[in-house]
Amino acid sequence: MYVKKLKIREKDARAVAEIIDYTDDLYGTQGEWVELTPNRAVKHEKICLMAKELYHTPEACNRIMKTHMQGICASIDLRLKFLMPGKCLARKDEICEFVIELN
């Protein structure tokens, strides 16, 4: 679905970033990519409506995002590593940081 809708040609970290931006628009999440290469992408989310509901439960946020990433990867037949290395809006940090790396 995403590949066709977004006209994705290359199946790499940038394609995943494009899909994340698309879904972020649907969910009202806002952030910026601070690193974006074919093999690695890092995003800092600044606004997330779900984080307000998940305060003090960043592990729930992590599980939701990992499941979301698994769905995206399955839709474009891509394997990657998804990390949330520490900062999380659900923990009341200033940003939520996540990292995508191709395996």
- Residue 97 has a pLDDT of 93
Pick the CATH number of 9-102 from 3.30.70, 3.30.300, 1.20.120, 2.60.40: 3.30.70
Q: Where are the domains of the chain?
A: 9-102
Report, as an integer, the average pLDDT of 18-38: 92
Cβ neighbours, 10 Å, residue 50: 16
Contact 98, 36 (CB under 8 A): no
- pLDDT tens digits along 49-79: 888 777 777 788 888 888 888 888 888 888 8
